[in-house]
Amino acid sequence: MRFLTRSQAARFILADPDGYVRSLSTADLSARNQSDKDAYKQMSASAMRSPSRMQMQRMRRLAHRAARALPYVISQRLPMVYVALFNGPYENQLPHTRQNIIFMPAHGLVAPDERVITLFAHELVHIFQRYNRLLTLAILSENGFDAVRRVMPADNIRANPDTDDFLYTNAVPERYLSTRPSNISEVVSGARHPFEVMAYNLQNMVAVAGRPVEFGASW
């Protein structure tokens, strides 16, 4: 695991190499209280922080514990992972991933070790999903989630950097309640993308077991 400085993380945000900000809809910008994508990038870049040596040591230790507790099929297929620390309204201050970078809000590190371990477990699963798509789709299919079609603008689906742009069977799409939401949490009740279902269930297994977990017939 490696860490991005404030300037490195800001450059990533401004360059938008994964096209995440470019993909945001009008509703997504409204939910983030923004009207302009460039302005959102500037605001997000200004939220980046350089982690202290103590923060880096703690994150590295807890992230390694999280990786060791995940199923072998996941932990052994992770690329080099980077962490960027931020403190501000970027993505509603929620932990998330973009490419092989975990964006960790500074307030998340105030939590006890066990909570931080589950946060890292969740985000590591998302990085696994991004870099092992075919295996991820096979795992989802075994659990009743099959891709149906790509999301279209008319679907009014909330953007989430940790998911893909498909609708799935047996999953409630993360659809906004209106075309002008005031917060990214304003989606239909019970909505959760299968990528998130997988990540939450595995993080919960890590939290309960406290040791390496394996896939069963389902999560």
pTM score, whole prediction: 0.94
* Percent of the chain residues topping a pLDDT of 70: 95
d(CA 213, CA 141): 20
Residue 52: pLDDT over 70? yes
What is the pLDDT at residue 210?
55
Residue 16: pLDDT over 90? yes
Confidence grade of residue 160 (pLDDT, cut at 50, 70, 90): very high
Residue 217: pLDDT over 60? no
Would you kindly state where each structural domain of the chain is located, as residue ranges? 2-209
Residue 214: pLDDT over 60? no
Residue 193: pLDDT over 50? yes
Within a 10 A sphere around the Cβ of 52, how many other Cβ atoms?
A: 10
Within a 10 A sphere around the Cβ of 81, how many other Cβ atoms?
A: 17
Residue 209: pLDDT over 70? no
The strand pairing partners of 49, in sequence order, are 85
Residue 26: pLDDT over 60? yes
68-105 pLDDT tens trace: 999 999 999 999 999 999 998 999 999 999 999 999 99
Question: Residue 99 region, left (φ>0) first, then alpha (ψ -120 to 50), else beta?
Answer: left
Within a 10 A sphere around the Cβ of 149, how many other Cβ atoms?
A: 10
